[in-house]
Chain A
Amino acid sequence: MNAIHLHYEVDGTDFTRAGEASAAVKKALRQLGVKPDVIRKVAIALYEGEINMVIHAEGGYIDVSIDEKAISMALCDHGKGIENIDLAMKEGYSTAPDEVRSLGFGAGMGLPNMKKNTDEMRIESTVGVGTNVYMTVYL
């Protein structure tokens, strides 16, 4: 199959729309006949990424490529960046504000969940410039 490319803009001002890109990718993967457990992993990893973009970075964009071997995702933002990536990867560590916690997020599980649900994950981040997260799930 030819590689399929999907692009989504994530609106950083609207918490209520977070999840739209993940839901759209989920639908596309289902139409392509991808296995349900793989779809679930991709959807969870992307949603966590989307939520992070809304909480910490005022939005960004997501590119997804699908070919016969893998689903590759790039999540890019121009937010404040991550000071200490090792610390951010620890379960339970969070810098999310209280209003976000009251919505049920900010448990410090976002990045660990993304890693857990993907086969490869790489974070590039520069404080004050932004963050790029690259994730791959093999088919």
Chain B
Amino acid sequence: MTPIELAARCGFSVINEGEGTKRTVNGVYCCDLLSVVMGRAKADDLWITVMGNLNAVAVAVLSDVSCILLAEGVSMDETGIKKAEQQNVCVLATDQPVFEAAMRAAKELSL
């Protein structure tokens, strides 16, 4: 399933589409400490975080996750959105808490 398809099924909003129709989501990873994310997130994961800055975009690019989902109603700052546009990173958002968003996504992904 692509990040955009997953967003539609789960009711997540799309902040930046990026490669959201080209990538596949194979897993879910939740964490806010960027170095931990880089060490532990897998390629093609949906990464759920409250870290809405451009460093998060850089981490998404380098760790090859398929998209960022900002949970808990957090928004991405302007420089982050610009970076996501430049780097074609798919960024989604939801008001749901991290755990609930992860549960919802995992259910849709049959994990």
Q: A114 CB to closest chain B CB, in angstroms?
A: 10
Q: Which of A16-24, A56-64, A75-83, A118-126 contacts B (4 or more CB under 8 A)?
A: A16-24
C-alpha gap A112/B36 in the complex (Å) = 10
Tell whether, in the assembled complex, residue B62 and residue A23 are in contact, meaning their CB atoms are under 8 Å apart.
yes
Residues of B within 8 A of A110 (CB): 35
The A-contacting residues of B in range 7-41, CB under 8 angstroms, are 32-36, 38-39
Identify which of residues 61-109 in chain A touch chain B, using a CB-to-CB cut-off of 8 Å.
Answer: 103-105, 107-109
Q: Which residues of B contact A104 (CB under 8 A)?
A: 32-34, 51, 53, 55-56, 59
Question: B57's closest neighbor in chain A, by CB?
Answer: A19
B61 & A116 in contact (Cβ 8 Å cutoff) = no
Nearest chain B CB to A40 CB, angstrom units: 5
Instruction: Specify which chain A residues have a CB less than 8 angstroms from the CB of B38 in the assembled complex.
Output: 44, 47-48, 109, 113
Chain B CB within 10 A, most for which of A15, A22, A44, A48: A44
| B55 A18 Cβ-Cβ under 8 A | yes
B43 A40 Cβ-Cβ under 8 A? yes
- Does B63 count as interface, using CB distance less than 8 angstroms? yes
User: Is the C-beta of A128 less than 8 angstroms from some C-beta in chain B?
Assistant: no
Known contacts: A18-B58, A47-B58, A103-B55. The answer to whether A112 contacts B39 by CB under 8 A is yes
Q: Given A23-B87, A103-B53, A104-B34, do A116 and B58 touch, yes or no (CB 8 Å)?
A: no
Partner of A40, one of B33, B35, B51, B63: B63
Q: Do B64 and A105 touch (CB < 8 A)?
A: no
Which of under 10, 10 to 19, 20 to 34, or 35 or more describes the interface residues of B? 20 to 34
Tell me, yes or no, whether A10 is within 8 Å of chain B by CB.
no
Q: Is the CB of B62 within 8 A of A107?
A: no
Residues of A within 8 A of B63 (CB): 40, 43-44
Q: Among B32, B36, B39, B53, which residue has the most Cβ atoms of chain A within 10 A?
A: B39
Q: Which of A's residues lie within 8 Å of B, judged by CB?
A: 15-16, 18-19, 22-23, 26, 36-37, 40, 43-44, 47-48, 51, 103-105, 107-110, 112-113, 116
Q: Beyond A19-B55, A40-B62, A48-B35: 20 further Cβ-contacts under 8 Å?
A: A16-B79, A18-B55, A19-B58, A19-B61, A40-B63, A40-B64, A43-B62, A44-B38, A44-B63, A47-B59, A51-B35, A103-B34, A104-B34, A104-B51, A105-B34, A107-B35, A109-B33, A109-B39, A113-B35, A113-B38
